[in-house]
A and B are shown apart, each in its own frame.
Chain A
């Protein structure tokens, strides 16, 4: 699992790579929360999942947790570049009703 964040003209890209499971989730949450705090003035946030190779229900908890944090800053969230496997999980759990696809 690897996490990076960049802000480009008001859009905060939260880039998650590799395997998202419970084992790496603690670190991922901390890293993402730190970046969200640093970029609290962003207009919107986009989770880039293009390089996610595996995700289980831990990823749902992670995305919804960050969605709630971003919402407290008034920042709407989106997901982009979701692969077929990840899409199956996010569709099933209704994540897209909170965090729409770009």
Chain B
């Protein structure tokens, strides 16, 4: 059976470091290089940070992030599949959100590079979002043998 994990965490800043380290630790089964591991950590950090800073508004919201990972072993090397879901406000215009340097939080010193980094650092990347319902990021990283 292929190995998988599911992790549900509160969408709070304290969990950023934990989330990327947990995924990196899980990925070790694929024997990634340091640079592959670093790419995964950075992409996870971007997705999780987006859930924390953009998805939830208001103190009373039940703020959670679901992180799902699956390891695919291949004859040579393998792949790490990651899905990161929030149940927040969603994205009105996904195409616009994906554009490099686009941000809705300019005055908080965001650079609008999070999605561009995820797309560049991972082998596959996609976003599904529904306004009022939430956002799901699905990513895959091929790990060379």
Binding site for B on A (CB under 8 A): 19, 21-23, 25, 29, 54-58, 60-62, 64-65, 84-85, 88-89, 92-93
Query: Cβ of A56 and Cβ of B45 under 8 Å apart?
Result: yes
How far is the CB of B35 from the nearest CB of chain A, in Å?
7
Chain B interfacial residues counted at CB < 8 A? 25
Which residues on B sit within 8 Å (CB–CB) of A93?
Answer: 100, 111, 113, 116
Which of A23, A57, A61, A62 is B46 in contact with, Cβ under 8 Å? A57
Query: Cβ of A21 and Cβ of B109 under 8 Å apart?
Result: no
Q: Give chain B interface residues in 84-116, CB to chain A under 8 Å.
A: 100, 108-111, 113-114, 116
Which residues on B sit within 8 Å (CB–CB) of A25?
Answer: 109
Q: What would 28 A/B residue contacts be, using CB atoms closer than 8 Å?
A: A19-B17, A21-B17, A22-B13, A22-B16, A23-B13, A23-B14, A23-B16, A23-B17, A25-B109, A54-B45, A55-B42, A56-B45, A56-B46, A56-B117, A57-B110, A60-B111, A61-B108, A61-B109, A64-B109, A65-B109, A84-B35, A85-B35, A88-B121, A89-B42, A89-B113, A92-B113, A92-B117, A93-B111
The prevalent SS among residues of A at the interface is helix
> Of all chain B residues, which has the CB nearest A66?
B109
Query: Cβ of B111 and Cβ of A61 under 8 Å apart?
Result: yes
Cα A89 to Cα B126 in complex, Å, equals 20
Beyond the given pairs A57-B114, A60-B113, A85-B38, 16 more chain A to chain B contacts, judged by CB atoms under 8 angstroms and listed by A's residue number, are A19-B17, A23-B13, A25-B109, A54-B20, A54-B42, A54-B45, A55-B42, A56-B46, A57-B110, A58-B49, A61-B111, A65-B109, A84-B35, A88-B121, A92-B113, A93-B100
Cα A19 to Cα B121 in complex, Å, equals 18
> Of all chain B residues, which has the CB nearest A54?
B41
Cα A62 to Cα B110 in complex, Å, equals 8
